[in-house]
Amino acid sequence: MRQAVDQYISKWLEVEIITQGRISVEPEAGITIILMSGKSLPPEFEAGLTKAVQKARGGEPVVRIYPVLAARQQAPEQQGIRK
């Protein structure tokens, strides 16, 4: 499953994976994926990622995707501020 997530995310340059995993060792346990992105992601991103995980895992496990919007700090020079 990890490879399927990495392969799917590699197509989206602004997305970085923070963590992924299951909450339990039980086979029916859902899968949680936490991501960081420099911009809001379109709805088709989550749908595609969910399908990729379900295909890799088999069946239709619950896939919870939590995208976090990055707030990267810029250097003063990049903000037009002089030191």
| CATH code of 23's domain | 3.30.300.20
User: Do residues 15 and 36 lie in contact, with contact meaning Cβ atoms separated by under 8 Å?
Assistant: yes
When divided into structural domains, the chain yields a total of: 1
Output phi, psi for 6, to 5 deg.
-60, -40
Please say if the pLDDT value at position 80 is more than 60.
no
Residue with tokens 């923070």: 18
Count of CB atoms within 10 A of residue 45's CB?
A: 19
Burial bucket for residue 71 (CB in 10 Å: 0-12, 13-18, 19+): exposed
Measure the CA–CA gap between 21 and 31, rounded to whole angstroms.
6
Distance of CA 24 to the CA centre of its chain: 20
Residue 26 structural domain: 2-79
Look at 59 and 27; give whichever has higher pLDDT: 59
Please say if the pLDDT value at position 73 is more than 70.
no
